[in-house]
Structure 1
């Protein structure tokens, strides 16, 4: 479990949302969300990239069981993770954007480090 933030959702809905956000981040490389959600997504994304670096069948199956799209898992193991082979952690960056208009929630951009 990444953290203790409940994000106002039951466990099943929260994990489904986080899985979807990690999949989108790995697919597009960038995601705009609230700061608290970004802080929960970052460790999960880093874990998926670490799995991709190991390049084993067991790691691939574990990644597929977490990610919501199989083609994103294939891309993770083929393109994304090999790009971080020389780097030990710190694959994501969170940048604050400011308050969201409407409810003033603190917004952030989470992106993969190049």
Structure 2
């Protein structure tokens, strides 16, 4: 009997999927941004969010759950001591996906997945009014049609 699988299969067996997800999460936590396919990024987005949330709780049970997935001690230490405290005021949404275009060989949509930085709010860039006026399009005035 064919049973359904929670999450995305990605044409892999359970062990292959687990290994792939561990490798992607490891790369993301080391470099804080990775370039991968859109399907793989969407598949690990929730996993990364749950790992960071569990690391924020810092209870023995939640840390054991993190330890069961992140098997590398140095990366686990970085997750608990550096990454999780950075998001103390955030409940979820620790990652962002930016589309990079299609891959040359097979046309797969590539995305850049990265951890959100501390300045995740709106940018404080000041734009001179001359530039704003030049960019704005003039309003088009329509004449009434005769019947």
TM-score scaled to structure 2, two decimals? 0.73
Among 82, 86, 89, the alignment partner of 1:83 is: 86
Say whether the 8 Å CA contact 1:26–1:76 is kept in structure 2. yes
Structure 1 unaligned spans of 5+: none
Aligned equivalents of 1:80 and 1:15: distance in 2? 22
Aligned equivalents of 2:44 and 2:77: distance in 1? 20
Is 1:17–2:20 an aligned residue pair? yes
Among 15, 26, 29, the alignment partner of 2:29 is: 26
Structure 2 unaligned spans of 5+: 118-147
Aligned residue for 2:62, secondary structure, equals helix
Q: How many residues are paired up?
A: 113
Q: Give the drift of 1:92.
A: 0.3
Aligned equivalents of 1:102 and 1:3: distance in 2? 30
Among 104, 108, 112, the alignment partner of 1:109 is: 112
**Deviation string for 1:13-63 (max 9, x for gaps)?**
011101111121112100110000000011000011001100122222211
Matches within 5 A, 1:20-99: 20-99=23-102
Aligned equivalents of 1:61 and 1:7: distance in 2? 27
Aligned equivalents of 1:62 and 1:3: distance in 2? 18
TM-score scaled to structure 1, two decimals? 0.92
Change (3 A) 1:7 1:68: same
Aligned equivalents of 1:99 and 1:68: distance in 2? 33
Higher helix share: 1
